[in-house]
Structure 1
Amino acid sequence: MKVKEANIREIAEHLLCGNICFLNIVTGDFEYHPAEIDFFPDEENPWQEVIDQVENNWDDYIRIEPMNSNQSYTVMESFADQLEADGFRKKLLAALNRPKPFRNFNYLIHESDFRQEWFDFRQERNVEWVREQISDQVDA
C-alpha cells in the first residue's frame, strides 16, 4: 500500500503540534490525538472516538510518535551546521551548548531572518522521520 505524500506531510505537521498519529496501513489514512490530554474529573474525552477506532483495529495501525528531545536537538544542530551565515551559525551552536538549549535556540530563530528557513527545515526533517517510522510496513 502506498501512502499519499500529503498524508505523510500532514502527519509530520501533527507531530510538530504535539500529537500522536496512527497510520492505517490498510487504507493509508491516519488518525491523531494529543500526546497528553488533561481533563477535569467529569469531563468527556473529545478524542475518545479516535482512541476507540485505533484500539478496536490495532492490527491495522502503526503508531507514529514525535521525535524525542535528543532527536529534536540533533535537528536543531543540523540546521545550525548547514547555515552559510557564519555569525548566526555560531550564535545558534553556542545557544545549543548552554542550559535550556531549546528555549535559547527558539529565541534566536524567532528574532532572526532565518525563521521561515528553520520551519521549512524542521518540517522536512519531520517528513523524513515519518517515512522512517512507516517504511518497513508500507510504501512511503
Structure 2
Amino acid sequence: RWENCVRIDPPELGESFGIMERFIRDCIPDDAGIKERLRKAVSGRKPFRNFKYVIDGSEYRQKWFDFRQGQLERLVADYLNSLDIDASAK
C-alpha cells in the first residue's frame, strides 16, 4: 500500500561529499600514494568526477563501494529512526 511508504531522497551534496572525505580519512592508509591524489581530487573543481576518476583505477574501488553502501544504509536507518520507524523491521 502506498500510504505505508516512506519517501527517502538521495543525500544532499554536502553529505555525499562528507562520505567521500570520511572514506579518504578512515579507509585509505596514510602511506598509500592514492590518499593524496584523492585529497587533491576532492579539493579542486568537480570533486565528484575527479574522485570517481581516481578511485575507479585503484585497488580501493570495491572498498569505496562497500563503504559508501554502508554509509547510505546508516543514513536511511537514521532517517527512519527519526520518524520512529524500526529500520530493522522487514
Unaligned runs of at least 5 residues, structure 1: 1-52
Q: Which one of the candidate residues 113, 116, 123 is aligned to 2:62?
A: 116
Residue 74 (1) aligns with residue 18 (2)? yes
CA distance in structure 2 between the partners assigned to 1:62 and 1:133 by the alignment:
10
Q: Which one has a bigger Cα radius of gyration?
A: 1
Residue identity (%): 37
Unaligned runs of at least 5 residues, structure 2: none
CA distance in structure 2 between the partners assigned to 1:101 and 1:61 by the alignment:
34
CA distance in structure 2 between the partners assigned to 1:85 and 1:118 by the alignment:
16
CA distance in structure 1 between the partners assigned to 2:24 and 2:38 by the alignment:
6
TM-score, with length taken from structure 1: 0.56
Residue 90 (1) aligns with residue 36 (2)? yes
CA distance in structure 1 between the partners assigned to 2:65 and 2:37 by the alignment:
18
- Superposition deviation, residue 62 in structure 1: 2.2
- Superposition deviation, residue 85 in structure 1: 4.7
Q: CA RMSD in A?
A: 1.3
1:11-90 equivalence runs, <5 A: 54=2, 57=3, 60-82=4-26, 83-86=28-31, 87-90=33-36
More strand by share: 1
Q: Which one of the candidate residues 70, 85, 90 is aligned to 1:138?
A: 85
CA distance in structure 2 between the partners assigned to 1:62 and 1:75 by the alignment:
23
Asked which structure has the greater RCO (Cα within 8 Å, sep 6+), the reply is 1
CA distance in structure 2 between the partners assigned to 1:77 and 1:138 by the alignment:
29
Deviations 1:93-134 (A, max 9, x none): 111001000000000000101000000000000010110110
